[in-house]
Every structure is written in structure tokens, then in C-alpha cells.
Amino acid sequence: MMEFVLPDKAHDESRQGEALMLEQNDKNNGRKLYIESYGCAMNFSDSEIVASILMDKGFETTSDYRNADVVFINTCSIRENAEQRVRNRLREFGIAKVKNPGMVVGVLGCMAERLKSKFLEEEKLVDVVVGPDAYRDLPNLIDQVDDGQRAVNVLLSREETYADINPVRLNSNGINAFVSIMRGCDNMCSFCVVPFTRGRERSRDPQSIVKECTDLFNAGYREVTLLGQNVDSYKWSPSQTLPEGKGLNEESLPSGEVGGAFVNFAQLLEMVALIHPDLRIRFSTSHPKDITDEVLYTMKKHDNICKYIHLPVQSGNSRVLELMNRTYDREWYMNRVDAINRIMPECAISTDIIAGFCTETEEEHADTLSMMDYVKYDYAYMFMYSERPGTLAAKRYADDIPEAVKNRRLQEIVAKQREYSHYRLQGHVGKVHRVLIEGFSKKSDKDYCGRNDQNAMMVFPVDERFKPGQYVNVFAESCTTATLLGKIV
């Protein structure tokens, strides 16, 4: 049944809302927010949502925590050392708080979700603990702290995607931006804490994604990275509604999708690719069990979808992959790599690898090394296994590989990757690359830097005719261990 709201009632309510907002804005006007992010790109993207929510309430951002009124740390729980880093940083905020006792210190993100109110017991300087799905409640929680209480909200949601919030871009170069397309993860890899800290997987309304990317393009941005823990399981069904009841109706879908059962990741990629040929698209993370040929063909079809896939393997051994609950085996992974190479021979592939997972033998570790020989990854993020409380692995398997052995295996993996990264970079030497200028190089303002389609960083002398945000053709003359050196042609 439709619900009608009497016009004068609606009017009154909005007036009340307005008054409340003005009051809150007045109270917070000019209050300074400092926010620091750890962990994955999703956390950095969330911090932009947080800043947007608070700026709406009158806050300004600052880059110096020592004179901030509110200091937030957006945390990561993925490995023990990630949590340790946050704890150390909190000590430093504690020193600043002694000088500035009115300072509100808040812990956001995955550690907040994992530890909940325990955080308030363990870290006396912390005033607010807020999980990744509760950021809309922040103004209210800060009010509670202003009233002398400590506040916690770690409720996870099945719907929240912050779809309607237009993130403010923090520390931005005005050229690259992250855009969240989904939240949470339903995969339950046995080593991983993310399903517990981020909750159930949910996809964001494609129209809101296209709108955000279009706005970014119109504001001068030239590259968007679509983010999700498993982008290949992105799925939006037209019957889904936004939390505020603003659903996607069939008329608002682009033709072709009208009446279709749902929008999948390949279709979403295409919708974003069609915004403008000069808007480049990257995405992360692809899951080997879910990446489809349809996604690969969509990438091939559109020049502005970068030919680069981050495809975490974790281990090259099928028994270990099973213990990890990755739901693919060595052969399946190789088959996906073959498909990428067949459909887009120029496509770069990077990966994540865990060394020394529970019960991993030397032979099984050797399988990871031989997988690296098979794929010859362009880049890799490599870690020692770190047991996380509450995960399936922590419950089921002993963390039985001695630290020294884990470390040795990791060093072998790192050494091999160094060779392949160099090998791949050398493959780019002697060729011309289309590069998006991102700014001056870190070392010198006589050089520009930017990445090619395959995500390789290039450094080349400044040419006054071209500005950051423009595409240039750069000839790669040589390479260092991590960078291509060249000149604009």
C-alpha cells in the first residue's frame, strides 16, 4: 500500500530536521577532524565517507592531529602486526591528548568491529569505537562523548552501502579515486578476519556508482578503482532497495539491462567504461573462483578498462588451498590464468601469497614457488601467516610452522618475485606506453610520474605542454627494480 504524507506534516518535519541540523552544525562549526587510515583501499575509501558525514555537520578536516578536536584512526585487523601498528599510534595520540584533554579519540574500522567495547577497557584514551557499518551514527556518537560518555556502535548491517553519500576526497591528487561498489565478504577463507569485521556481502546500486564516477570525471578525475573484497560476486537485482527506500526502478536502468534479472560485475564494468573514453577503470580484488570469461571479454572490449588483474593465489598447493577454504585448486587457478593470457595476452597479473599456513610442508611451499614460475606475476603482496582469533583456521588448525621457517619461506617467495617483477618491467622497455600523468615524481619536480595500462609506474621528464591528469605516450628506455624510465614521444 502506498503511504501518503500530508504536505504540511512533511513540511514541518523537514523544518524540524533543518533546525536540528543547523544546531548541530553551529555546535560543530569549525571543529577540526583528523583521520588516519590503515589497511586496504576499502578503509581509505571509508575514511572519505566518514569525512563527508562529519563535514555535513560542520566539521573541517586537518592534517595535524595535534590541534584536532576529533582524532579518528581507521584500523585494520588483517594480521597481528597491523593491529600492533594501530596500538602504537594510539600511544602517540595519547600524548597529544594530555596536552589537549578535550580531544575526542575514536577507533573506526575492522579492529573496532573485532574488539568492540573491549577496546574501551584496553585503551583508556579511546572515547568512541565504531564499526564499518555504523558511520552514519558518528555525529550522534560524538555528541554522546561531548556529554561525557564513551560511545560504541559496532552493529553490522545487511544493507548499508553508503550509496547516497558523496565522499569527500582526502589527500587526493584530483586524478585517481577509489569507488566502493560493494561491502563485506561471504567467502570465509579460513585464515581471514574480514567476514567477521565487515559482515555480509552486499552490492551497491549501479546507478549510484555510475553517478559517482561521472561526477568524478566531471571534476577532472581520470581514473577510478572499483573496490570490493570480491568484485566478481558483485550482483545487483532491480528489486533491491536503498536503505532510505530509494529503489532502482526499471526505467532508470540503461537499455539492455531493462527487465534483466540483475546487474553483474561485467555489466557494471561496461556501464562505468561507457561514461567517457578518457576515464580509466581499474578494480580490485578479483577472486579466482569467481572471475568469469565475461569479465575478461568486457575488459578486452573497452580500451579504458586497464589490462591489469589482481588475482590472489594465496598458495600454489591444492591441499593447502582446501585448508584455506579458497574453494579452487591449483589447476583451476592455472586455468583462469590461461584464460587471461589467451583473451588478453598483454594483461598484467598481480597476487597475494601467504607463507607458512598451518601444516604447510616444504613440498607444498615449493608448489607456491612453481606457481610463481608458471604465472610470472608482475607484482605480489607477500605475507607470513598470522593467526587471527575467531577465524576457522584458528579454531581448526594448529599454527604449527615455526616463525623462522615461515620467514625463510617468505624470503624465498620475495626473492623469486623480485626476479619476476624485474622480468615483467623489462618486457615493457623499448615500447611506447599510454600513461596518465599523476603528478611530479617523488624524487624530483623535474620529472612526472604515472602508470601505464598494466599498472607499471613510469617516470619521465616534465614536458610543459602536458599537465597532470592528461594522457601521454611515453617511450620506456630502461627500468629500475620497480619503475620504468622513459620520455614523452
What are the residues binding ligand SF4 (CB under 6 A)?
A: 185, 187-189, 192, 194-195, 229-230, 287
The set of cell numbers assigned to 156 is 553490522
Any contact of residue 167 with ligand SAH (CB under 6 A)?
Answer: no
Is 306 labeled as ligand-binding?
A: no
Task: Please provide residue 256's backbone torsions phi and psi, each rounded to the nearest 5 degrees.
Answer: 105, -40
Q: Which does 76 bind (CB under 5 to 8 A by kind): ligand SF4, ligand SAH, ligand F3S, none?
A: ligand F3S
Minimum Å gap between C-beta 42 and ligand F3S is 5
Q: Within 197-236, which residues bind ligand SAH (CB under 6 A)?
A: 229-230
| Nearer to ligand SAH (CB atom), residue 57 or residue 326 | 326
What's 232's DSSP letter? G
User: What residue is closest to ligand F3S based on CB?
Assistant: 39
Q: What's the CA gap between 134 and 401, in Å, rounded? A: 38
Kindly tell me which residue out of 53, 54, 70, 78 binds ligand F3S, with binding defined by CB under 6 A: 78
Cα 408 off chain centre by: 29
Question: In the range 375-394, which residues lie near ligand SAH by CB under 6 A?
Answer: 383, 385-386, 388
Query: How far apart are the C-alpha atoms of 428 and 396, rounded to whole Å?
Result: 45
Nearer to ligand F3S by C-beta: 197 or 317?
197
285 interacts with ligand SAH by CB under 6 A? yes
Task: Please name every residue paired with 182 in a beta bridge, in sequence order, or none if there are none.
Answer: 203
Q: Which positions from 119 through 158 interact with ligand SAH, judged by CB under 6 A?
A: none
The alpha carbons of the chain give a radius of gyration, in whole angstroms, of 24
User: Does the annotation place 110 within a ligand binding site?
Assistant: yes
Long-range CB pairs of 21-30, under 8 A, 24+ apart, other chains included: 21/57, 24/57, 24/58, 24/139, 24/143, 25/57, 25/58, 26/58, 27/58, 28/54, 28/57, 28/58, 28/59, 28/139, 28/142, 29/58, 30/58, 30/60
User: Applying CB under 6 A, does 49 fall inside the site for ligand F3S?
Assistant: no
Alpha-carbon distance values, 45 to 161, 162, 224, 225, 298 (Å): 12, 11, 12, 10, 25
370's CB contacts (< 8 A; 6+ apart) are 316
User: Whole-number minimum distance, CB 40 to ligand SF4, in Å?
Assistant: 9
Q: Quote the CA–CA distance of 31 and 56 in Å, as a whole number.
A: 12
- Span from 11-19, 34-42, 268-276, 296-304 in contact with ligand F3S (CB under 6 A): 34-42
228 binds ligand F3S (CB under 6 A): no
Is 40 part of any known ligand binding site?
yes
Q: Please list every residue from 176 through 205 that binds ligand F3S, using CB under 6 A.
A: 193-194, 197-198
253 or 384: CB nearest ligand SAH = 384
Site string for ligand F3S, 93-132 (x = CB under 6 A): ----------------xx----------------------
How far is 194 from 111, CA to CA, in rounded Å?
10
Taking every pair of Cα atoms in the chain, the longest distance, rounded to a whole number of angstroms, is: 74
Contact 343, 296 (CB under 8 A): yes
Cell numbers 574480514 correspond to what residue? 194
Q: C-alpha distances in angstroms, 476 versus 71, 377, 431, 459, 489?
A: 43, 20, 6, 9, 10
Interface residue with ligand SAH, options 153, 233, 264, 314 (CB under 6 A): 314
The answer to whether the annotation marks 192 as part of a ligand binding site is yes
Q: How far is the CB of 385 from ligand SF4 (least distance, A)?
A: 12
Cell of 221: 578525475
Amino acid at 371: M
Q: Which three cell numbers stand for residue 301?
A: 572490449
Query: Site mask, ligand SAH, residues 429-468, x = CB under 6 A?
Result: ----------------------------------------
Q: Which of 33, 35, 42, 53 is close enough to bind ligand F3S by CB under 6 A?
A: 42
Output 187 or 417, the one with its CB closest to ligand SF4: 187
176 binding ligand SAH? (CB under 6 A) = no
Q: What is the nearest approach in angstroms of ligand SAH to the Cβ of residue 369?
A: 16
| Beta strand 447-451 pairing with 483-488 | unpaired
DSSP H helical segments within 317-466, as ranges?
318-323, 330-343, 362-375, 392-396, 403-428
Q: How far is the CB of 343 from ligand SAH (least distance, A)?
A: 21
CB of 185: closest distance to ligand SF4 in angstroms? 3
Size of the site for ligand SAH (CB under 6 A): 17
Q: Which does 195 bind (CB under 5 to 8 A by kind): ligand F3S, ligand SAH, ligand SF4, none?
A: ligand SF4
DSSP string, 188-208: --TT--HHHHH-S-EEPPHHH
Chosen from ligand SF4, ligand SAH, ligand F3S, none, partner binding at 388 (C-beta under 5 to 8 Å by type): ligand SAH
Question: Which spans of this chain sit near ligand F3S (rule: CB under 6 A)?
Answer: 39-40, 42-43, 76-78, 109-110, 193-194, 197-198
Question: Which spans of this chain sit near ligand SAH (rule: CB under 6 A)?
Answer: 78-79, 191-192, 194, 229-230, 285, 287, 312, 314, 352, 354, 383, 385-386, 388
- List the binding residues: 40, 76, 110, 185, 189, 192
- List the binding residues for [4Fe-4S] cluster: 40, 76, 110, 185, 189, 192
